[in-house]
Structure 1
Amino acid sequence: MAGRKPKPTSLKMLEGNPGKRQLNPNEPKPDASVPKCPAWLSKEAKREWKRLVPFLEQAGLLTQVDRAAFAGYCQSYADWVDAKAHIAEEGSTFETPNGYQQQTPWVSIAQASLKTMLKFCTEFGLTPSSRSRIVAANAPESEADDMEMLLGGDG
């Protein structure tokens, strides 16, 4: 299918439906409970899972059927962290037996993991640009809104 991939209705609703198009009333509604962290994730991936689940749960962006996609994000994050640790310890290049400098495989692993991780990030509203389009219903009021209320503005 050509063109942009459609956004989930829940994400459109959080963004305030900026296109004002009719929302899909027949979109499947999976179990909204938070999925259990998969046991097979690495230690670092499990830490990332635990760190982000509260945010995604509050925003209503993580359901039972999203488990594999979110696990993919968490494991990609862990792989990226691991590759960056290897690069920090060993450097990004090494000398071949012939005396040439060559990039270590860890650089490619880090780049591929980051690319995969960032694709998942946009799906869950985890980048500044994707998050800026979300209007959370229970977001705290800003100080500017409080000041407008005090001055008698519309707020």
Structure 2
Amino acid sequence: MGRRGPPPTPTHLLRLRGSWRGEANRNEPEPERGVPECPDWVSEYAKAAWEQLVPLLHDMGVLYLIDGHALVVLCQTWGRWRKAEEFINEHGESYPVRDDNGRVKYLKKFPQVTVAQDCARILNRFFGEFGLTPSARSRIDVSTGASSDGGGSDHDNKSKFLNIG
């Protein structure tokens, strides 16, 4: 049986928020800041997501090299969600199942609907982990965790919507 309750907030996010708890675990490993490389094998939608998310996360000061694997899962899941949603937009959410006489017996949901719903749930969790939701961002104080490039960035003066591919 796993731990109970919500997962602990990462220390770097506690520090960005200005929380005193950010200093509670002095022995926590400090991962190396940086921009992870996008693997070659990810889907085209995942690459597009990567190219848009990485600069945003870097500007927010919440990206570490070790986050690359989690970022791959986030981007691949985005790609699956996008593909499923495109199918649904083109074909609808259900199709008729007919009897031997050609009459409609009932409507059956396309599998892509379940894929889209499952991916959306996973994406919402990942968006929260990376500070990509309004609620998650409201808990981060970027004035104490400015981007490592030292100056202002696109993040400071532009509102960006996750518009990938």
What is the CA-CA distance between 1:4 and the residue it aligns to?
2.2
TM-score by length of 1: 0.83
Other structure's SS at 2:98 match: coil
Partners of 2:61 and 2:142 within 8 A in 1: no
Counterpart residue number, 1:11:
13
Equivalent pair of 1:10/1:60 in contact (CA under 8 Å): no
- Aligned residues: percent identity? 39
Structure 1 residue 94 and structure 2 residue 95: aligned?
yes
Ranked by relative contact order (alpha carbons within 8 Å, sequence separation 6 or more), the top structure is: 2
After superposing on structure 2, the runs of 4+ consecutive aligned residues of structure 1 that deviate more than 3 Å are 138-141
Give the corresponding residue for 2:66: 65
Q: Secondary structure at the match of 1:94?
A: strand
Contact 1:34 1:62 in 2 (8 A): yes
TM-score by length of 2: 0.79
| Equivalenced residues, count | 139
Which residue is equivalent to 2:162?
none
Quote the offset at 1:65 in angstroms.
1.3
1:22-61 to 2 correspondence within 5 Å? Answer: 22-61=23-62
Q: Does 2:123 correspond to 1:121? A: no
CA distance in 1, matches of 2:134, 2:54: 17
Q: Distance in 1 between matches of 2:47 and 2:92?
A: 27
Structure 2 CA distance for aligned equivalents of residues 102 and 29 of structure 1: 50
**Structure 2 residues not aligned, in runs of 5+:** 147-151, 158-165
- Partner Cα separation in structure 2 for residue 55 and residue 25 of structure 1: 28
Q: Deviations over 1:43-85 (max 9, x none)?
A: 1111111101112112222212111111111111111111010
Q: Distance in 2 between matches of 1:40 and 1:116?
A: 21
Amino acid at match of 2:142: A
> Quick one: which amino acid aligns to residue 60 of structure 2?
A
Root-mean-square deviation over aligned CA pairs: 1.6
Give the drift of 1:14: 1.1
